[in-house]
Chain A
């Protein structure tokens, strides 16, 4: 399979990348790790006239602290994210999630920015970012703007990104020490998208849930924030009846399509099962 022809650009700064995207117009696409875009180009489902490769832009890589927030450059690869010591201690859910994405070769190249920005409902990081209350930094011709992950996803492959804009970084408020988090993903095999998956971040106070947020992957056109499910567990000890109620609330908002991962009814049910498992594991990890 050979993609259609295109012109290749490799800018060294965000300003140059944004300038190129603005001047080249809608026929240009940014290229991050390429593991979503290149397969689409090989199938000729995408045929951009210009590719703007972001790999030479040093300012887009790396993890840093900024006040109480952690900022992850958009071109940080899943492999680098897994190896990062700051993230390992402050945000272990990111490592857990990244290890469930694709396979080692893809993780060496695939980026966290590409994963959150391309709007594929099968991608794992968006639900986690929604759960963590992350904000995306976006650069465009008119300067920088920020948008909450919770407001970013509008439909399958439809996001709040305007043509010519780039996600440059992800800002995550550092969860309190002692929080518990988990990402549970049901998949058929290594490299598959989720049949259903759930992210949970919670804190406990005297054995009861003080705060909780829940995100769901690949059970709707967009990643979902399961607010009712999260509210159902707040104040509880996560006893069996409460977990069941939360799972049911998550199932109620899931609207997966039937596909070769299973019929819609099964995938909906699995969304609840993933929520229940993620709640249990997050609780076990919380102090």
Chain B
């Protein structure tokens, strides 16, 4: 069969114009599909950045919370109640809120402030400069060195700023797995300092981070939290909750679906039509092959190989182009939120398989119907 494959390969790639058109169609479709879904995946990862960065297994929150950014403060007794629940190893409060920083040159910059539990500093970031214990120092803040860092005018240890008329001092630079969605720098401080420095509503606990004694305790903890009128979700469930919010309650999901569908239709139209034309132009040759003794299953194999080869090559090129674009974009926009995941690769692959299958189907229908006798009749 190798010889037949090589024959199919040569018949395909030696027709440079058609092969290029086929590749362009599939590559372009894959590029668009992956780019769209990568943007979505990147945005969703950013939207869940705080959840991923803090790393708690179980999160307790007000049931109305849809995303990690729109916190609804809970009274302190919730923390006490959770700490006393069966199956809870420990629970800590976390503060998450926005602040307006006045920088050294007098300009203002919005930032996210995370207030870590004073006793445990649970969820602390990994420091790349400074010492974590310095967070207990007077007016101390740790800044995350991510693409938004420069918006604070690239502060170093000892840099000062004002927040809500309080003095703030950078005591450490840190790194986190994921930057936030909203393009603002992130500062870490202690929970108490966050409450003290930032204007707050009556209830101040943004989330209670829970470490269960074992994963088997999680359902029970959820039930107990629900009994006091709040919601407990695992980290993954919280990420899903955030994703669902953006997919179903904003236009993002619909837009993604429309763009993916359009990319698919463009790819299918170009590739399907070009492959069909390729088959039509070679129909007499396929008939001649049949007359010479090629079996129908060998013809099917040949055509499937041609479409699969084109589809896979286009798929690879599309991924490569998308990766290159993301790379180039990040040279100018370090915060460019696009993330190629197995999930979006799989979606693109599935759609490419459909494009190849549909193209093959119409080509095969024509080829299998050609009678070798027609070749003699001219």
Q: Do A and B come from one complex?
A: no
